[in-house]
Amino acid sequence: MALYLIGDVQGCDEALERLLTHLAFSPSRDTLYLLGDLVNRGPNNVGVLRRLMALGSSAQCLLGNHDLHVLAVSRGVRQPNKQDTIQDILTAHDSHELLHWLRHQNMAMQVGQVLMVHAGVLPQWTAAHTMALAGEVEAVLRSDDWVHFMPQMYGGLPNVWRDDLEGADRLRVIVNALTRLRFCDAQGAMDFSVKEGADKAPAHLMPWFDVPGRLTADVRMAFGHWSTVHIEDRPDVVCLDDGCVWGGCLSAAKLEAKDTHLSVADAPAWQRVGVKCPQTMDPLA
């Protein structure tokens, strides 16, 4: 049995189909873990959602910032951006079912010693704490109150975690860390102004995974969201967003089930594989 961790699909269903074929993926034997941003910017969002829905428990999915954006737009909380390609979801004959399935996906996932998020975690969070906080957001999104939460989800403040945060402020920090985080300072204060690689950040900022004393340093972490980051081969973290919609690759990391319980020190190198994607979005547009 193999586990395949897949980066940002963003509505590129044809690329996803080619990747699964290349992996010789078998839903009766293997499990997919998709790291969020399932939809938006690519040409066939409904195809991606229907494919993943049909796979049932063989496809475990995270929510990314683009997925949350679709949910917000569907309820009139946000207006579509000019680069959005989500109209096929909103007008589909099964739109209600697609959106219902989407908001019941995960904010974080953990298999053994492998922790998966869409964007990042704050340095004060352990893996267990991360999963518990993700569960708080999941509970709201899956409840009848999810529409009321959507307008409160947006904004960059508070940008620092405190255990005594409550209500919308608490949930907003969790969402921002799990779906938007790239940079923070040594104290874990999030900064969303820089989206490029680490060499473009001010001196006081660093990638979230390089913060000294990060409490998730004892687990292997896989994430997406950051197509411009470059991480040298290291056993503790892997970024699987390789810019599919920008003409890059749709990438996966293969894990053997027996390896998910290995420590960072004992774990083998990430086994990466990808398929080349046609450019469907102009980064300068």
Residue 284 domain-assigned? no
Using the predicted structure, report yes or no on whether residue 196 has a pLDDT greater than 90. Answer: no
Residue 166 domain-assigned? yes
pLDDT of 249 reads: 96
Tell which residue, 31, 27, 66, 30, has the closest CA to residue 45: 66
Number of independent structural domains in the chain: 1
Residue 138 domain-assigned? yes
Q: What is the CATH number for 110?
A: 3.60.21.10
* pLDDT tier, 1 (very low <50, low <70, confident <90, very high otherwise): confident
User: 11: alpha, beta or left, given left = phi > 0 and alpha = psi -120 to 50?
Assistant: left
Mean pLDDT for the chain overall: 95
Strand order in the sheet with 190-191: 190-191, 183-184, 206-207
Enter the pTM of the model.
Answer: 0.96
DSSP state at residue 92: S
Percent of the chain whose predicted confidence (pLDDT) is above 70: 99
Residue 282 domain-assigned? no
Residue 13 domain-assigned? yes
- Considering only 168-172, 195-199, 202-206, 257-261, which range has the smallest mean pLDDT? 195-199
DSSP SS3 for 124: coil
pLDDT tens across 27-75, in order? 999 999 999 999 999 999 999 999 999 999 999 999 999 999 999 999 9
DSSP SS3 for 136: helix
Q: Cis omega (within 30 of 0) on the bond before 27?
A: no
* pLDDT tier, 202 (very low <50, low <70, confident <90, very high otherwise): confident
> Which residue range(s) make up the domain with 73?
2-276
Give me the helix-helix angle, 127-141 and 167-180, nearest 10°.
Answer: 110
Q: H helices within 181-252, ranges in order?
A: none
Tell which residue, 137, 170, 156, 122, has the closest CA to residue 68: 137
Q: Say how far apart CA 73 and CA 88 lie, in whole Å.
A: 13
Residue 283 domain-assigned? no
CA atoms within 13 A on the CB side of 165: 16
* CB 124, CB 161: distance < 8 Å: yes
pLDDT tens across 214-254, in order? 999 999 999 999 999 988 889 999 999 999 999 999 999 99
Structure tokens, 180: 């938007």
